Amino acid sequence: MAKDLYHFINGQRVTGISGRFKDVINPASGEIICQVPLASSNETVMAIEAAAKAFPAWRDTPPLRRARILFRFIDLLNQNLKELSELISAEHGKVIEDAKGSIIRGMEVAEFACGAPHLLKGHFSENVGTRVDSHSIRQPLGVCAGITPFNFPAMVPMWMFPLSIICGNTFILKPSEKAPSTALRLAELMKEAGLPDGVFNVVNGDSEAVNTLLSHPEIAAISFVGSTPVAEHIYKTATANGKRAQALGGAKNHMVIMPDADLDQAVSALMGAAYGAAGERCMAISVVVPVGEQTADALVNKLAPKVRQLKVGPATSPTAEMGPLISTDHVEKVRNYVTIGVHEGATLVVDGRELTNGENGKGSYLGGCLFDHVTTKMRIYQEEIFGPVLVIVRVDDFATALKMINEHEYGNGAAIFTRDGDTARAFSSEVQAGMVGINVPIPVPMAYHSFGGWKRSLFGDLHMHGTEGILFYTKLKTITSRWPTGVRTGNDFHMPTMM
User: Which amino acids are annotated catalytic?
Assistant: 282
Query: Half-sphere exposure of 224 toward its Cβ, with a 13 Å CA cutoff?
Result: 34
Least gap, CB of 64 to ligand NAD (angstroms): 31
Q: How far apart are CA 122 and CA 325, in angstroms?
A: 46
Which one, 51 or 296, has the nearer CB to ligand NAD? 51
Least gap, CB of 84 to ligand NAD (angstroms): 18
Residue with the shortest CB distance to ligand NAD:
226
Least gap, CB of 456 to ligand NAD (angstroms): 10
Least gap, CB of 292 to ligand NAD (angstroms): 30
Q: How far apart are CA 441 and CA 261, in angstroms?
A: 13
Query: Half-sphere exposure of 36 toward its Cβ, with a 13 Å CA cutoff?
Result: 26
Which one, 41 or 227, has the nearer CB to ligand NAD? 227
Which one, 290 or 388, has the nearer CB to ligand NAD? 388
How many other CB atoms sit within 10 Å of the CB of residue 354? 10
Which one, 207 or 347, has the nearer CB to ligand NAD? 207
Least gap, CB of 426 to ligand NAD (angstroms): 25
Q: How far apart are CA 309 and CA 303, in angstroms?
A: 10
CB-CB contact of 357 with 374 (8 Å): no
Q: How far apart are CA 202 and CA 96, in angstroms?
A: 24
Residue among 431, 375, 434, 432 nearest 398 (CA)? 431
Contacts with 242 (C-beta within 8 Å, 6 or more apart), sequence order: none
Angle 469-196-475 from CA coordinates, rounded to 5°: 30
Which one, 251 or 274, has the nearer CB to ligand NAD? 251
How many other CB atoms sit within 10 Å of the CB of residue 32? 12
Q: How far apart are CA 42 and CA 297, in angstroms?
A: 59
For 476, the 3-state DSSP assignment is strand
Least gap, CB of 384 to ligand NAD (angstroms): 6
CB-CB contact of 398 with 378 (8 Å): no
Query: Half-sphere exposure of 215 toward its Cβ, with a 13 Å CA cutoff?
Result: 10
Residue 489 backbone zone (phi > 0: left; psi -120 to 50: alpha; other: beta): beta
For 177, the 3-state DSSP assignment is coil
Question: 35: part of which helix (H) or strand (E)?
Answer: strand 32-37
Q: Residue 398 — φ and ψ, nearest 5°?
A: -60, -40
Q: Give the strand pairing for 32-37 and 3-4.
A: parallel
Q: Write out the residues near ligand NAD by the rule CB under 6 A.
A: 147-152, 156, 174, 176-177, 206-207, 210, 225-227, 230, 248-251, 282, 384, 386, 412, 453, 457
Q: How far apart are CA 421 and CA 437, in angstroms?
A: 13
Least gap, CB of 322 to ligand NAD (angstroms): 17
DSSP lists the bridge partners of residue 8 as 13, 202
Size of the chain in residues: 499
Which one, 55 or 159, has the nearer CB to ligand NAD? 159
Which one, 50 or 214, has the nearer CB to ligand NAD? 214
Least gap, CB of 159 to ligand NAD (angstroms): 8
Least gap, CB of 492 to ligand NAD (angstroms): 51
Least gap, CB of 233 to ligand NAD (angstroms): 6
Q: How far apart are CA 245 and CA 423, in angstroms?
A: 36
Which one, 165 or 214, has the nearer CB to ligand NAD? 214
Which one, 77 or 238, has the nearer CB to ligand NAD? 238
Residue among 42, 457, 12 nearest 211 (CA)? 42
Q: Residue 131 — φ and ψ, nearest 5°?
A: 55, 25
Residue among 31, 14, 13 nearest 23 (CA)? 31
Which one, 251 or 256, has the nearer CB to ligand NAD? 251
